[in-house]
């Protein structure tokens, strides 16, 4: 007897970020055949199925942040009983800043099969559109909401050589980019991607200083930001004092001049600042 054929499984499926045509054929088939569909928003999932011309034959249950833990035991029993549980979120890939990873971990612990139907992802889409080097990258989820915590977070990225991708709410974008300028310097390149794959998709590229000025006017929609990785350190702080002083003579404050040179060279802003003060006292 083929026991594998009778074994249930968890299926993670990526859903369109906006353009319904991005739905894969495998997603369409899974929506129509799974015994249970666990959805972050049941109304949106039903609307997606209708737009795709698919009739959901299985049971649809909610699976969002506040009920995720409570739903897991029931879904595990469904899988153990031989049923397929399809897990979808509002847009993109489950588990990536969305519900899902706890369910996967629970299945792994119970040694229940888990598979994935690949598809749309804001992270890789933004990277591809950014125009920045992205051979290596890291994803940091949502930026911290509070300014102090956000600045501390940016401080950990000063010397990060990989491109950094993160999400941000539109009403916090201007403050977030202003903090990035203060900590990372205005010269670091970045891209702000909004409403990816949707009617009003927009990608704004430039330095952090330029993007911070642009964001002051306000941005709407879902936001994904890509930051350029830090450039390799190629000089000692003492070797860059003249570049800092040149910027100061052009009107920049010493703190801002140090931040700009540090951002473009990868040296420590604090060490560069100390080097300038030491040179001035010699």
Q: What pLDDT, in 10s, does the model give residues 13-54? A: 999 999 999 999 999 999 999 999 999 999 999 999 999 999
Predicted confidence at residue 267, as pLDDT, reads 82
26 touches 101 (CB < 8 A): no
Q: Is 268 exposed, middle or buried (0-12, 13-18, 19+ CB in 10 A)?
A: middle
Question: Are 130 and 211 in a shared domain?
Answer: yes
- Residue 67, in any domain of the structure: yes
Q: Going along 72-158, which residue ranges are E strands?
A: 84-88, 114-117, 137-142
What is the end-to-end Cα distance of the chain in Å, rounded?
Answer: 86
Query: Would the pTM of this model clear 0.95, i.e. be above it?
Result: no
Question: Are 141 and 178 in a shared domain?
Answer: yes
Question: Are 270 and 207 in a shared domain?
Answer: no
Question: Are 8 and 113 in a shared domain?
Answer: yes
Total domains present in the chain: 3
Structural domain of residue 204, as residue ranges? 122-227
Distance (Å, whole) CA 280 – CA 282: 6
Percent of the chain with pLDDT over 90: 82
Of 63, 92, 117, the residue that ends a domain is 117
Q: Pick from 124, 107, 265: which is nearest to 187 by CA?
A: 265
Q: What is the CATH number of the domain that holds 187?
A: 3.30.950.10
Of 117, 137, 160, the residue that ends a domain is 117
Residues lower than pLDDT 50 in the chain: 1-5
Predicted confidence at residue 4, as pLDDT, reads 40
Residue 94 CA, chain-centre distance (Å), reads 13
Q: What is the CATH number of the domain that holds 57?
A: 3.40.1010.10
């Amino acid at each position: 007897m083929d026991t594998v054929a009778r074994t249930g499984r968890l299926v993670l499926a990526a859903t369109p970020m906006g353009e319904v045509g991005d739905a894969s054929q495998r997603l369409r088939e899974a929506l129509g055949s799974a015994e249970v569909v666990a959805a972050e928003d049941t109304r949106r999932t039903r609307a997606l199925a209708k737009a795709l011309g698919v009739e959901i034959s299985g049971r649809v249950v909610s699976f969002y942040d506040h009920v995720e833990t409570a739903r897991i035991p029931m879904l595990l029993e469904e899988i153990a009983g031989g049923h397929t549980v399809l897990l979808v979120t509002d847009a993109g890939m489950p588990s990536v800043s969305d519900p899902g990873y706890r369910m996967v971990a629970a299945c792994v612990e119970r040694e229940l099969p888990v598979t994935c139907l690949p598809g749309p992802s804001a992270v890789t889409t933004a990277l591809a559109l950014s125009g920045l080097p992205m051979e290596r990258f890291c994803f940091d989820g949502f930026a911290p909401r509070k300014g102090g915590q956000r600045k501390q977070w940016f401080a950990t990225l000063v010397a990060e050589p990989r491109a950094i991708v993160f999400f941000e709410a539109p009403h916090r974008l201007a403050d977030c980019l202003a903090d990035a300028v203060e900590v990372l310097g205005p010269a670091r390149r970045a891209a702000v991607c909004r409403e990816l794959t949707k009617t009003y998709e927009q990608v704004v590229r430039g330095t952090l200083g330029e993007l911070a000025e642009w964001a002051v006017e306000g941005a709407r929609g879902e936001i994904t930001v890509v930051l350029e990785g830090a450039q390799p350190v190629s000089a000692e702080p003492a070797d860059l004092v003249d570049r800092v002083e040149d910027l100061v003579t052009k009107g920049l404050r010493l703190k801002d001049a140090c931040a700009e040179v540090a951002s473009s060279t990868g040296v420590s802003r604090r060490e560069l600042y100390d080097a300038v003060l030491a040179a001035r006292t010699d």
